[in-house]
Structure 1
Amino acid sequence: MLIRDAGDGDWPLIYPFFAEIVAEDKTYAFPDGLSLDEARGWWMETPPGRTVVAVDGDDILGSAKMGPNRPGRGSHVATASFMVDPRHRGRGVGRNLGLHVIEWVRSAGYRSIQFNAVVETNSTAVGLWHSLGFRTIGTVPEAFDHPDHGLVGLHVMWLDLSA
């Protein structure tokens, strides 16, 4: 598995699993039914942000986007989002993307990483981020309308990189 910067030609290959994951309504609060062009702005970052893909040969296994959580005086804290193509789950793609993002964020000089909205019922993601050292520092109650569980919380997760 290789992780590299996403290029313009990658977006049409990312979009099908982006659209599938968004349509599941279980992990992201992106608007439903975004077209290829509409969705691009929700995922493909521009500097100082960055979007990467995890690839195996010509197959895109997953993608991550990262950059400052807030502009200006909050720009020393990074954020990131991750999507693994459902056909490639269980292969360590999310973990490898997470490790890549942590290393990039650290080398770019950010002091921490904050995830603003990890759905509390997404046990795979919550477990992965805890295993990589993130702490759940708060939960916004009933902030996400899950199709199976109803109103559930969104975790704010944080990793200190200053040490």
Structure 2
Amino acid sequence: MMDGDVALALRRAGLDDGDAVWDVIRPALRAGETYALPRDISKADALALWLAADRETWLAEDQEGRTLGVYYLKANQGGGGSHVANCGYMTAVEAAGRGVARAMCAHSLERAGGRGFRAMQFNFVVSTNERAVRLWRAFGFETVGVLPDAFEHPRLGVVDALVMHRRL
């Protein structure tokens, strides 16, 4: 897959990919600006979340096999809500702005449709994560709800979170 200035291959992650996943997600988790997770979350707890059995986790790798991004795909809810997909995406710091998130989003939408999901929903997009909001909108996601003052941003204080949705 080619997107922007980076040639990427996407492959399913396994339990033996924990170090590669951690290397990508650790900086964003420690910064605490985009995910409602503890900034001091342990590696074990973070990997238990990102590599959980209820989701597919995918790695975006460059031609040298370096992991530049990671995302998971899962059902947003169980039972009557299981036809709606949910994803979480993180890009390696050194790969920001190089099309990695765009490639992962495109791949996840295709994968979700192939698995029979009828929509995708992001439950908690921090409103100040402007790059992500722009990207999701470019892929046809609409803001269907605003959660006022839902996120305690470490630099900006209390900010809104968005619920974003798109039919597949």
The TM-score range, normalised by the shorter chain, is over 0.9
Match among 62, 65, 68 for residue 69 of structure 2: 62
The CA deviation string for residues 22-50 of structure 1, in whole angstroms up to 9 with x for no partner, is 11111011122222222111211324x20
SS of the residue 1:45 aligns to: coil
CA RMSD of aligned residues (A): 1.0
Distance 2:88 2:114 in 1: 18
Letter in 2 for 1:2: A
The CA deviation string for residues 113-160 of structure 1, in whole angstroms up to 9 with x for no partner, is 000000001000000000001001111000001122211111000011
TM-score scaled by length of structure 2:
0.92
SS of the residue 1:61 aligns to: strand
Partner of 2:45: 38
Distance 1:51 1:71 in 2: 18
TM-score scaled by length of structure 1:
0.94
Partner of 1:53: 59
Answering whether residue 92 of structure 2 is matched by residue 92 of structure 1, we say no
Match among 123, 126, 130 for residue 133 of structure 2: 126
Distance 2:80 2:164 in 1: 20
Distance 1:97 1:88 in 2: 13
Unaligned runs of 5+ in 1: none
Distance 1:84 1:77 in 2: 23
Answering whether residue 150 of structure 2 is matched by residue 116 of structure 1, we say no
